[in-house]
């Protein structure tokens, strides 16, 4: 029989901590810490597979139940206490814990094992009646909401009534205090024992009323209810949403941890907290986190009490130093020791949960810490310098999908801005959008293409879909480790948390801010409504009225260093898609090794040029077209001069005109009239021509090189512009490497004809100028036939560039513009593993890429093969392109550094696979 319950305690842990699939992340961490001799309360972990079994049968198998009983016996022995024994009661927590961390997504119950007799016993034993009944009332509320499905609300109301009575007893005048202020004046810890005892009775009454059941007094019954609730929570709504977002398989299931309680709410020398071994937003090397004296862990994360900083330096200026470091220096030093031990052991930054019971530190959780992309890069580089990890490991540590945010814009320091308030800089980046106050609304509006900022008093796991939809998150309450902060950082989304100057009113759908002047006096109050625009700076915590302009960042510091290490490893080159000199310059600054795709049509949409373009389109004959093209030539040449100059010494792939001509014609009647006037062409003639150009399916219509087959003079003009630009620049000493690329070819004949056009233009320009310029001729592969006939095409083409956007559309018969209606369902229900426009469809489109490259190279050994299109910037696709041996990928300028990193990871991952194969 396979073992399914694993005990930990007394310095030893059963079960292999490397088996996160069995123990779950939390269970594995507890086992690991126990094995390292760290102070961990004893307990046991029920394997994740039991939750999967439970999901099918809704019951825990009998043999597992027996194993649990045995483990419970051991736990009682180790703890010297027994479940339900009033003389020496054992209280436990029942905690979920999946293989991948899903913070707050599933449920935890604390203080289990309580009933009236146990509470009385505990009160006698600890000589602290208040503590015993505080633990008891917390347990009833948690167990009722998590395991018995009772709403949280009536329990909250009951405790607020108890608070009101306490306020009256203390003589606090409530009339001028709002709920928040009252909670501050009369905290939970002020509510005395008798009141709490009454509260337990009230709570049980609530359970009776709301669920029609008695609250279970039998600790064994409580335990099984709690274990089953943990298993059930794997399939609650928010857990399912979270799994979809993070691509966590549904069948992993969650492990369940049962652990002896330690009490952070025992006395004033007790506390609970969370800590990172380094700063999760900057990566700085010191403890970072929050704590609350005399509290249980739920108080810290729930955002109901504003937690205090762990480290002295982080304590607010001027205010008294309420840090853990100042208040409990012993425990703080112990925590630092634990942090060092764990970082050395895991060789990574950790996120810790701890409780201090009467001065003694206990560790309750450790896991690899979520961090901003900025911190991820800095920690990886720092750990190489500290000798903890190798450069290769550092490269693998950073998710290339997250780093482009480092290069994304921040607020323009020179732009005028109106600061409304400041909160905590919980997740960096600038975000601007319309205010919304609830998650559903955020989702709805963003689906309509509106950027939104989700403004909440605090977020809860139920808001996750709204957080995902919003551009940025703003909360009035909660700290750096609050739900909103953690989730936003995980998503790389700007977040300002705990902005206490904000009074959020959900009913009125408004938020009121008291704005202070420079001398700190309240100057005015501003009320913002749903739909008003604000800007957040998640890096500084600033909240600004209206839209604030942004500036782009540079590739420097540790990120530059890491990417330079990556360059030493990768074989895949990285180019950028750039249509303008500015794009080309940005791309080069980010390390692009050339332009992989320069689209020429964008050059014709400019106001001055579109007229000539339209003239060309409306011309009746070749002579008319030529006259119009002659006007376009100088513009086109200027564009190429700019781009070639920026890319001196590097290749520039220029795609000749691709879109169908009607895209250049106006559509509105007013514009048509204007055009007719300007060009002196009768309106009917224009209407007629527009009708002629109309196509039912333009994507498969008269476009790409098909245009040049019927109107060769277009490509002739473009080629001429390229060569003239090249010759002009060569005189200045600029090193030009032009690569002329023909779009949408499906046959050798098309390439032969277009090549002839290009060569004729070259010959003419070279003869006239008495100079020449080297160039290569190639084609895009963007239709399945082109991939299949790649061998023939390579007889004419010297390079291929896979246009994977169109190739995906054509191969899968999916229109990118229309797929939005059903493609998400395909992905959600697993018909397709991923959106094929984001990450390459390996078995279909990918196979064509592989086959096309192979057939092409068989014909021409030195054929250069690259990819342009969205996939060139997608880390997962980049891995694939490396594996099938392409020469380069081309992506948007901002994604170049990420692509460099991903290309290096591809080398390391391929090596890893080779090693695994040898082992087998
Ligand atoms: P989550 O997965 O949401 O983080 P946890 O299972 O870690 O939930 O529980 C949340 C908090 O409850 C912990 O951070 C800790 O403070 C508290 N807690 C859990 N188990 C115990 C225990 N055995 N003793 C004291 N506190 C506990
Ligand atoms: Mg949990
Ligand atoms: Mg936890």
Per-residue pLDDT tens for 172-209?
888 888 887 888 889 888 999 999 999 999 999 999 99
Confidence tier at 742 by pLDDT (50, 70, 90):
very high
CA 511 to CA 505: how far, in whole Å? Answer: 6
Based on its alpha-carbon atoms, the radius of gyration of the chain, rounded to whole angstroms, reads 33
Q: Which atom of ligand 1 is nearest to the CA of 296?
A: 16
Residue with the larger pLDDT of the pair 320 and 434: 434
Q: Which atom of ligand 1 is nearest to the CA of 353?
A: 14
Determine if ligand 1 sits within 6 Å of the CB of residue 188: no
Ligand 1 pocket test, pick from 297, 361, 461 with the greatest ligand atom count within 8 Å of Cβ, gives: 297
Q: Tell me which residues have their CB within 5 A of the ion that is ligand 3.
A: 353, 365
End-to-end CA separation in angstroms for the chain: 27
Predicted confidence at residue 425, as pLDDT, reads 86
Predicted confidence at residue 302, as pLDDT, reads 64
Nearest CA to ligand 1 atom 15: 297
- 379-383, 422-426, 606-610: segment of lowest average pLDDT: 606-610
3-state SS class at 268: coil
**Is 52 within 8 Å of 251 (Cβ atoms)?**
yes
Number of C-beta neighbours around residue 692 at 10 A: 9
Nearest CA to ligand 1 atom 6: 95
DSSP string, 204-240: HHHHHHHHSSPPP--HHHHHHHHHHHHHHHTTSHHHH
Average pLDDT in the 619-635 region? 92
The answer, yes or no, to whether residue 19 has pLDDT greater than 60, is yes
- For 600, 604, 663, 675, the CA distances from 607, given in Å and listed in that order, are 15, 8, 14, 12
The answer, yes or no, to whether residue 492 has pLDDT greater than 80, is no
**What pTM does this model have?**
0.79
The answer, yes or no, to whether residue 109 has pLDDT greater than 60, is yes
For residue 297, the CA-to-ligand 1 centroid distance in Å is 6
CA 270 to CA 328: how far, in whole Å? Answer: 9
Catalytic residue (one of 143, 465, 483, 662)? 483
Nearest CA to ligand 1 atom 11: 297
Determine if ligand 1 sits within 6 Å of the CB of residue 353: yes
Determine if ligand 1 sits within 6 Å of the CB of residue 104: yes
Location of structure tokens 């600054």: 589
Paired with 741 in beta bridges are: 655, 778
For residue 369, the CA-to-ligand 1 centroid distance in Å is 16
Predicted confidence at residue 502, as pLDDT, reads 93
**Do you know the residue count of the chain?**
920
Determine if ligand 1 sits within 6 Å of the CB of residue 45: no
Determine if ligand 1 sits within 6 Å of the CB of residue 598: no
| Catalytic residue status for 868 | yes
For residue 19, the CA-to-ligand 2 centroid distance in Å is 19
Confidence tier at 691 by pLDDT (50, 70, 90):
confident
Ligand nearest to the CA of 112: 1
Closest CA to 639 of 724, 760, 741: 724
3-state SS class at 177: coil
Return the percentage of the chain with pLDDT > 70, whole number. 98
DSSP string, 276-341: ESS-TTT--SS-EEEEEES--HHHHHHSSSPPEESSGGGSPTTS----HHHH-HHHHHHHHHHHHH
Determine if ligand 1 sits within 6 Å of the CB of residue 259: yes
**Is 664 within 8 Å of 690 (Cβ atoms)?**
no
The answer, yes or no, to whether residue 436 has pLDDT greater than 70, is yes
* CA angle, residues 794, 797, 799, in degrees to nearest 5: 95
Structure tokens at 350: 């950790």
Predicted confidence at residue 74, as pLDDT, reads 97
The answer, yes or no, to whether residue 106 has pLDDT greater than 80, is no
Catalytic residue (one of 737, 868, 871, 891)? 868
Tell me how many helices (H) and strands (E) the chain has. Answer: 35, 34
Ligand nearest to the CA of 257: 1
Determine if ligand 1 sits within 6 Å of the CB of residue 270: no
**Is 467 within 8 Å of 487 (Cβ atoms)?**
yes
Average pLDDT value for the chain: 92
Average pLDDT in the 807-822 region? 88
3-state SS class at 574: strand
For residue 186, the CA-to-ligand 1 centroid distance in Å is 25
Q: Which atom of ligand 1 is nearest to the CA of 259?
A: 23
Ligand nearest to the CA of 364: 1
Determine if ligand 1 sits within 6 Å of the CB of residue 797: no
Structure tokens at 618: 């409306």
Determine if ligand 1 sits within 6 Å of the CB of residue 898: no
Structure tokens at 447: 């689906």
Determine if ligand 1 sits within 6 Å of the CB of residue 262: yes
CA 916 to CA 920: how far, in whole Å? Answer: 7
3-state SS class at 181: helix
Tens of pLDDT, residue by residue over 529-571, are 999 999 999 988 999 999 998 776 777 789 999 999 999 999 9
Tens of pLDDT, residue by residue over 579-599, are 889 889 989 999 999 999 999
Confidence tier at 521 by pLDDT (50, 70, 90):
confident
Tens of pLDDT, residue by residue over 315-338, are 555 567 899 999 999 999 999 999
CA 238 to CA 107: how far, in whole Å? Answer: 11
Nearest CA to ligand 1 atom 18: 297
Determine if ligand 1 sits within 6 Å of the CB of residue 455: no
Confidence tier at 301 by pLDDT (50, 70, 90):
low
* Secondary element (H or E) of residue 69: helix 62-79
Ligand 1 pocket test, pick from 95, 292, 461 with the greatest ligand atom count within 8 Å of Cβ, gives: 95
Determine if ligand 1 sits within 6 Å of the CB of residue 233: no
Give the number of C-alpha atoms closer than 13 A to the C-alpha of residue 90, restricted to the C-beta side: 24
CA 485 to CA 351: how far, in whole Å? Answer: 14
CA 535 to CA 549: how far, in whole Å? Answer: 9
Looking at residue 741, the DSSP 8-state letter turns out to be E
Q: Which atom of ligand 1 is nearest to the CA of 41?
A: 23
Q: Where are the alpha helices (DSSP H) in 386-438?
A: 391-397, 400-403
Structure tokens at 720: 């001429």
Closest CA to 49 of 112, 87, 98, 92: 98
Number of C-beta neighbours around residue 476 at 10 A: 23
Longest dimension (CA), the chain: 105
**Is 902 within 8 Å of 396 (Cβ atoms)?**
no
Confidence tier at 242 by pLDDT (50, 70, 90):
confident
Q: Which atom of ligand 1 is nearest to the CA of 92?
A: 23
Confidence tier at 817 by pLDDT (50, 70, 90):
confident
Structure tokens at 775: 């160039």
Ligand 1 pocket test, pick from 40, 304, 365 with the greatest ligand atom count within 8 Å of Cβ, gives: 365
Confidence tier at 475 by pLDDT (50, 70, 90):
very high
Q: Which atom of ligand 1 is nearest to the CA of 260?
A: 23
CA 437 to CA 72: how far, in whole Å? Answer: 46
């Amino acid at each position: 029989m396979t073992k399914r319950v694993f005990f930990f305690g007394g310095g030893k842990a059963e079960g292999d901590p490397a088996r996160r699939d069995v123990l779950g992340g939390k269970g594995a961490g507890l086992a690991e810490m126990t094995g390292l001799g760290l102070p961990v309360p004893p307990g046991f972990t029920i394997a994740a597979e039991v939750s999967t079994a439970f999901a099918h049968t809704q019951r825990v198998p009998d043999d597992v139940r027996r194993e649990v009983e045995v483990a419970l016996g051991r736990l009682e022995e180790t703890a010297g206490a027994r479940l339900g024994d009033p003389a020496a009661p054992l209280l436990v927590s029942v905690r979920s814990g999946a293989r991948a961390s899903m913070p707050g997504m599933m449920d935890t119950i604390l203080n289990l094992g309580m009933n009236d007799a146990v509470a009385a016993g505990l009160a006698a034993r600890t000589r602290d009646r208040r503590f015993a009944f505080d633990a008891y009332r917390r347990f009833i509320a948690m167990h009722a909401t998590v395991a018995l499905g009772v709403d949280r609300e009536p329990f909250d109301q009951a405790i607020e009534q108890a608070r009101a009575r306490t306020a009256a007893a203390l003589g606090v005048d409530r009339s001028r205090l709002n709920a928040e202020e009252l909670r501050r004046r009369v905290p939970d810890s002020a509510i005395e024992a008798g009141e709490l005892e009454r509260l337990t009775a009230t709570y049980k009454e609530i359970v009776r009323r709301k669920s029609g059941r008695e609250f279970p007094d039998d600790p064994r019954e409580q335990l099984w209810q709690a274990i089953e609730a943990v298993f059930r929570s794997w399939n609650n709504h928010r857990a399912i949403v979270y799994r979809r977002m993070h691509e966590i398989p549904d069948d992993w299931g969650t492990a369940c941890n049962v652990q002896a309680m330690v009490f952070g709410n025992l006395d004033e020398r007790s506390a609970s907290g969370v800590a990172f071994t380094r700063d999760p937003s900057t990566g700085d090397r010191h403890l970072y986190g929050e704590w609350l004296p005399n509290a249980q862990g739920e108080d810290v994360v729930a955002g109901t009490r504003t937690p205090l900083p762990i480290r002295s330096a982080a304590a607010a200026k001027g205010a008294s130093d309420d840090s853990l470091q100042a208040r409990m220096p012993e425990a703080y030093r112990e925590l630092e020791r634990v942090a060092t031990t764990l970082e050395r052991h895991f060789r990574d930054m950790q996120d810790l949960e701890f409780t201090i019971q009467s001065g003694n530190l206990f560790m309750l959780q450790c896991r690899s810490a979520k961090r901003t992309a900025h911190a991820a890069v800095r920690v990886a580089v720092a750990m190489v310098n500290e000798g903890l990890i190798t450069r290769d490991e550092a490269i693998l540590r950073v998710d290339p999908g997250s780093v482009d945010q480092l290069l994304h814009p921040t607020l323009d320091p020179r732009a005028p801005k109106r600061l409304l308030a400041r909160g905590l800089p919980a997740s960096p980046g600038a975000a601007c959008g319309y205010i919304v106050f609830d998650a559903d609304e955020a989702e709805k509006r963003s689906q309509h293409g509106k950027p939104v900022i989700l403004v909440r008093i605090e977020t809860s796991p139920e808001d996750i879909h709204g957080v995902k939809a919003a551009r940025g998150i703003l909360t009035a309450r909660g700290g750096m480790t609050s739900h909103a902060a953690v989730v936003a950082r995980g998503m790389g989304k700007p977040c300002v948390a705990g902005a206490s100057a904000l009074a959020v009113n959900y009913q009125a759908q408004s938020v009121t801010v008291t704005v202070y002047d420079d001398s700190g006096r309240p100057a005015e109050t501003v009320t913002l409504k749903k739909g008003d625009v604000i800007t957040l700076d998640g890096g500084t915590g600033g909240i600004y009225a209206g839209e604030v302009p942004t500036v782009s960042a540079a590739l420097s510091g540790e990120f530059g260093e890491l990417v330079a290490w990556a360059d030493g490893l990768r074989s895949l080159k990285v180019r950028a898609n750039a249509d303008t000199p500015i794009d080309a310059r940005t791309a080069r600054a980010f390390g692009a090794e050339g332009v992989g795709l320069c689209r020429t049509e964008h050059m014709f949409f400019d106001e001055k040029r579109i007229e000539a373009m339209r003239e060309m389109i409306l011309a009746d004959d070749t002579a008319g077209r030529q006259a119009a093209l002659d006007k376009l030539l100088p513009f086109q040449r200027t564009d190429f001069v700019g781009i070639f100059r920026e890319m001196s010494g590097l290749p520039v792939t220029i795609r000749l005109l691709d879109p169908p001509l009607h895209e250049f014609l106006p559509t509105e009647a007013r514009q048509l009239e204007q055009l007719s006037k300007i060009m002196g062409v009768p309106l009917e003639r224009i209407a007629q021509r527009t009708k002629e150009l109309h196509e039912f399916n333009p994507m498969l219509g008269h476009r790409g090189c098909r245009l040049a087959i019927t109107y060769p003079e277009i490509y002739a003009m473009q080629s001429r512009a390229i060569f003239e630009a090249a010759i002009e620049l060569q005189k200045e000493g600029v090193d030009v490497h032009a690569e002329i690329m023909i779009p949408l070819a499906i046959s050798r004949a098309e390439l032969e004809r277009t090549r002839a056009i290009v060569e004729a233009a070259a010959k003419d320009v070279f003869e006239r100028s008495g100079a020449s310029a080297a160039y290569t001729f190639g084609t895009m592969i963007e239709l399945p036939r082109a991939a299949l006939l790649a061998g023939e095409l390579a007889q004419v083409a010297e390079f291929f560039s896979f246009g994977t956007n169109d190739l995906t559309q054509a191969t899968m018969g999916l229109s990118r513009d229309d797929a939005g209606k059903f493609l998400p369902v395909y992905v959600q229900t697993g018909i397709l593993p991923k959106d094929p426009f984001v990450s390459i469809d390996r078995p279909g489109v990918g196979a064509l890429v592989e086959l096309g490259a192979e057939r092409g190279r068989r014909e021409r050994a030195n054929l250069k093969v690259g990819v342009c299109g969205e996939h060139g910037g997608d880390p997962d696709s980049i891995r694939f392109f490396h594996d099938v041996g392409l020469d380069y990928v081309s992506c948007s300028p901002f994604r170049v550094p990420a692509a460099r990193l991903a290309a290096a990871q591809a080398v390391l991952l391929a090596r890893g696979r080779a090693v695994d194969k040898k082992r087998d």
